[in-house]
Amino acid sequence: MAALARRFATPLGGAIALFLGLVAITVVVAATPAGQRWNGDVQLYHDYAGTFLNGAIGSTPYLSWYPPLTLLPITLPRLLTDDFGLYSFLFGLEMAAIVAAGLLIVARIDRGWNRALGAPAITWTYVGLALLAGFVVSWRFDALPAILVAGAVLAALGGNAVTTGVLLGLGADLKLYPVVLLPAVLAWFWAMGRSRDAARALVACAIVGGIGAGLYLLFPPASPFDLLRFQAERGLQIESLPGSVIGLLAALGATPHPGVVFAFGSYNLVAPSADSVLSWLGFVQAVALLAVLGVIMVRAIRERTMGVASPRTLALSLTALLLALMLTTRVLSIQYIVWLLPLTVLLSGAPRWLGIAAAILTALVFPFVYDGVLQLSVVPVTVLVLRNAALVAMLAWVTVRLLEPVRS
């Protein structure tokens, strides 16, 4: 038994075990009423993949919700079957393979850092976090851009600036958010004294991102502006940081209960307080991102001056930017926790444990108490608020780490 445990503690063994575990979850999703209740996104993927194959996707709202490159992961299973149950299973297999491959990437990064953490700890942490997120991994393609970000980190550490930019550009073509992480990579290259690599990464990301946006030309009358308008018109999702606070105050009886409506693909709050938040949330997001970028640049200047740019700084910078974006957006869907998966594993100490806590609390929220969240019941909404508080604490701790003195 001990020998078997050691075998699966290796990155390859862990990836195999993780794949099998996610396949088991996929079977639950595809074959049980409990899973089928929450797999509406997979139903959407199935239907729109069929529309894409029929040549009519440009006339649907799909490309207002997701960029064109997302048609690739959702259509691959549809090429094999039009049966929804089998499609769900195949889509889950696709996501399981992507997440398992991510473990090999993260382990390779850790090995390159030559840290004391070691393969078993990396393996079991990654496997545990991925299985906690298994119920959303099987129903969304958010794992794909997250693993592309991990690949970009590996490429950056290996000195492959163009590959770094390409991978971030591909991630942005799927889910937009990886482009927000680009400044952290550029600052790290600059701190390393590799300004030309920073320029190469920037150009590569811009070209690939531009090609992704250009794909809209293949699907008239859809355009990239449809996607931007859709995001700008979304309401305040109940899972968002301010949404969860409003929900908790209402659950405790401190304020009137807001309405909860499903619109723009999420459950949103309808209340004057929600409208008020939306009026200033964009400004807060801009300030938060600029503040984090300022901290990153201070760190980069210090490290460039001392001639020391550590891989740890790159992981901290990426995590800080991602958290600042997530916590100040009007939508913080449950599956967004998958974006943090590879970065959380690469952290150490308190930020890592806070990321793990956030993943555990997210798994409790969805699907187990999600109905209670929508009904604004005290305990479920409190769990959601605690999840968001863990993310806030994680951002604060990562920022403090970036502000610590640089060690030579």
pLDDT digits (tens, 9 = 90+) for 320-340: 999 999 999 999 998 999 999
| pLDDT above 70: residue 119 | no
Tokens matching residue 22: 């996610």
d(CA 379, CA 161): 47
Residues facing residue 237 across a β-bridge: 268
Residues 132 and 152 in one domain: no
- The Cβ of residue 64 has, within 10 Å, a number of other Cβ atoms equal to 18
Q: Is residue 28 part of a domain?
A: yes
Residues 162 and 282 in one domain: no
| pLDDT above 50: residue 116 | no
Q: How many domains does the chain have?
A: 3
| Amino acid at residue number 11 | P
Residues 18, 131 contacting (CB under 8 angstroms): yes
Residues 33 and 45 in one domain: yes
Residues 102 and 164 in one domain: no
Domain termination residue (choose one: 220, 249, 273): 220
Query: What confidence category does residue 114 fall into, taking pLDDT thresholds of 50, 70 and 90?
Result: low
pLDDT of residue 4: 46
Residues 346, 107 contacting (CB under 8 angstroms): no
User: Largest alpha-carbon pair distance within the chain?
Assistant: 60
Mean of pLDDT values over 144-168: 96
Mean of pLDDT values over 50-62: 93
d(CA 208, CA 204): 6
Question: Contacts by 12-15 with C-beta closer than 8 Å and gap 24+?
Answer: 12/104, 13/123, 14/103, 14/107, 14/123, 14/124, 14/126, 14/127, 15/100, 15/101, 15/103, 15/104
For helices 84-113 and 40-53, what crossing angle results, to 10°?
100
pLDDT of residue 120: 77
Q: In residues, how long is the chain?
A: 408
Give residue-wise pLDDT tens across range 197-213.
999 999 999 999 999 99
DSSP 357-403: HHHHHHHIIIIISHHHHHTT-HHHHHHHHHHHHHHHHHHHHHHHHHH
Domain of residue 132: give its range.
1-139
Q: Is residue 132 part of a domain?
A: yes
Give residue-wise pLDDT tens across range 163-199.
999 999 999 999 999 999 999 999 999 999 999 999 9
Tokens matching residue 213: 């946006």
Query: What confidence category does residue 306 fall into, taking pLDDT thresholds of 50, 70 and 90?
Result: confident
* Stated pTM of the model: 0.94
Residues 6+ apart with CB under 8 A from 373: 238, 239, 247, 365, 380, 381, 384
Q: Is residue 100 part of a domain?
A: yes
Q: Is residue 230 part of a domain?
A: no
Residues 171 and 270 in one domain: no
Indicate the DSSP class of residue 269. E
Question: What SS3 class is residue 2?
Answer: helix
Residues 244 and 186 in one domain: no
CA dihedral 284, 290, 293, 295 (to 10 degrees): -80
d(CA 342, CA 65): 25
Residues 211 and 242 in one domain: no
Give me the chain's average pLDDT, please.
Answer: 91
Residues 139, 29 contacting (CB under 8 angstroms): yes
Q: Is residue 229 part of a domain?
A: no
Domain termination residue (choose one: 220, 249, 272): 220
Residues 133, 337 contacting (CB under 8 angstroms): yes
Residues 283 and 376 in one domain: yes
pLDDT of residue 110: 85
Q: Is residue 199 part of a domain?
A: yes
Residues 6+ apart with CB under 8 A from 332: 237, 239, 240, 241, 243, 326, 388
d(CA 9, CA 136): 24
Residues 168 and 240 in one domain: no
pLDDT of residue 8: 55
- Which residue from 31, 18, 225 is spatially nearest to 137, judged by alpha carbons? 18
Query: What confidence category does residue 135 fall into, taking pLDDT thresholds of 50, 70 and 90?
Result: confident
Domain termination residue (choose one: 139, 161, 190): 139
Residues 10 and 153 in one domain: no
Q: Is residue 362 part of a domain?
A: yes
Q: Is residue 225 part of a domain?
A: no
Residues 316 and 195 in one domain: no
Q: What are phi and psi of 56, to 5 degrees?
A: -120, 15
Query: What confidence category does residue 38 fall into, taking pLDDT thresholds of 50, 70 and 90?
Result: confident
d(CA 283, CA 93): 40
Q: Which residues of 5-24 are buried (b: 16+ CB within 10 A; e: fewer)?
A: eeebbebebbbebbbebbbe
Residues 245 and 372 in one domain: yes
